[in-house]
Chains A and B, each alone.
Chain A
């Protein structure tokens, strides 16, 4: 067994284990926690397409979650269109919005893009909170939209509602695996190389034939599309959406935090970040949501500072290094590149030679250090939380 095969087998084993997990975990509460964890890993992965690969800092990705959630919910409530179709419609809409935000701002350097994404999500939230009817569409302002549950014990694929947690678990797990496979393929493709080089040094990349702005906009469109799918899933899982749950800076920042701490621009980063950080958020929400509503963002901010000081590329890199060592013990290394050693090989870099995805972008623009600046303290139970459905206001 070569090292590559060993790693691939590990990956397959983990995936299979994840799919088999509901056979062991029977409790709906635990399954729900896992579902939320996967959902965050999914959203952070789609965030990473722009924020990691393209080297910019999107701070308003919840706008796409919101577009997905509202679109499918409105189509279902008012027109009886299956949320599965609404999911696609929402994704297409989100892709359009992503294009409109990205096209003018991704040409600019530095913080402009980050600021415009923040401004955009806030603008949309305030608008939705103040609009009851948008033409024929019922937004219902700050009260949000309720999806009436089907009759007790009834589940329906068409209605995207299920009587137990397992179907939700398998849907989000499938979405996560698919999006991971996709980002991994992108990162190894021309687009991945172009995004990464353009994010690191636009002048050099452009001189090598890379239309940097165009690739960034393309990444933004793909990312918006995929992020919106999560919005519909979230709406169907909680059966209740309102502006402060799906259109907040709170959620937007959390995705950025998870990605930055986990490892920006790496495939495993969002998963490791979500695994480590979601419990922090859940914990602080369960125990401190009444007294200290923004606590989780402060904790995440502090963790981010510490991680950036000691592991500026995030936590994934040291973890992968450990995994490499383990793999090396189980399997011999492969002479994988046909290098002619006409000069002695330089000491092995931590980066595997054939993946542009493992190294992360070196300079992370200043990330928001706390929630103080955002002006929207999270409402208790705001955004997706592991609290069971009945707890909603």
Chain B
């Protein structure tokens, strides 16, 4: 049985249909990529899955349970964690404290939470930056902090929204390694990414959406050859692909 099933989900903002009748599923231990031109509705789809928005129509099943419309904090406790495309660190808290907030989803004890947070930071190569404030971090580290906080909640499914945007090529390679390492630990990952080389290298399968609608699903090499996909990217948003 798949870990996440999105069934015919539609999300409207007033007259705007941001996600249109989207269905997809992710098997356990899989990495599913979600791509599409800017404004295609990728982040909105994430927000529906993570409980930030209640979909206008459709259902979302997580781990076999209908979780449509459930609140983000409840979903988090059930094992669903996400990052935000525009990172949202707690600016006045140290890096370690930021991650500790996430770790409190697993334990009520501060010392355990801090140990766990430290562990996660080390895993992401940020072990020496626990005392820094987020404002002093590089973009790459801010993205990692975003992932670290999510990981600290001990998720089964991790939603990553453009964690490589704005990174230098070497940093992108590091991030690819990190995500692969997470999958090796058994995590299921749903990833939105604009950097084609990264998403091609990472994903078991890729879903392409355009104007909120799924236009293609398949293995990376299939998707790369798909006529609709090429049209969607080259037609409207040549520069962003």
Contacts and interface: CB of A to CB of B under 8 A. Distances in A.
A337 interface: yes
Given A190-B104, A190-B113, A337-B96, A207 B76 contact: yes
Contacts of A194: 101, 104
Interface in B145-176: 149-150, 152-153
A360 B82 CA distance: 26
B146 to A, nearest CB: 9
A340 B126 CA distance: 9
Interface string A110-152: 0000000000000000000000000000000000000000000
Interface in B99-114: 100-102, 104-105, 108, 110, 113-114
A203 B52 contact: yes
B105 A346 contact: no
A218 to B, nearest CB: 14
B133 interface: yes
Contact of A209 (B73, B92, B100, B127): B73
Nearest to B135: A349
A338 B125 contact: no
Contacts of B93: 196-197, 200, 351, 356, 359
Interface of B: 50, 52, 71-73, 76-77, 81-82, 84, 88-94, 96-98, 100-102, 104-105, 108, 110, 113-114, 118, 122, 125-133, 136, 149-150, 152-153
A349 B125 contact: no
B90 A204 contact: yes
Given A203-B52, A204-B84, A359-B93, A349 B131 contact: yes
A389 interface: no
B105 A208 contact: yes
Query: What 4 A-B pairs come out closest when comparing CB atoms?
Result: A209-B105, A204-B88, A209-B76, A359-B92
Contact of A190 (B110, B149, B153): B110
Given A190-B113, A208-B152, A339-B130, 13 more contacts: A203-B84, A204-B149, A207-B50, A207-B76, A208-B73, A209-B105, A338-B118, A339-B118, A340-B128, A345-B129, A347-B136, A351-B94, A353-B131
25 contacts: A197-B93, A197-B101, A200-B92, A201-B88, A201-B89, A203-B72, A205-B90, A205-B101, A206-B52, A208-B81, A208-B152, A208-B153, A210-B101, A212-B73, A340-B127, A341-B128, A342-B127, A343-B129, A345-B131, A346-B128, A346-B131, A349-B131, A351-B93, A359-B92, A362-B92
B125 A193 contact: no
Category for how many chain A residues contact B: 35 or more
Given A193-B101, A353-B94, A362-B91, A211 B128 contact: no
A123 B102 CA distance: 41
Contacts of B126: 343
Label chain A's interface by main secondary structure: loop
Contacts of A375: none
Contacts of A2: none
Nearest to B88: A204
A217 to B, nearest CB: 14
Contact of A208 (B52, B71, B76, B129): B76
A340 B122 contact: yes
B123 to A, nearest CB: 11
Nearest to A356: B97
Contacts of B108: 190
A9 interface: no
Contacts of A361: 92
Contacts of B81: 207-208
Contact of A348 (B50, B77, B101, B131): B131
Contacts of B102: 208-209
Interface in A200-235: 200-201, 203-212
B100 to A, nearest CB: 6
A358 to B, nearest CB: 9
Contacts of B105: 208-209
A201 B89 CA distance: 8
Contacts of A346: 128-129, 131-132, 136
Contacts of B89: 201, 204
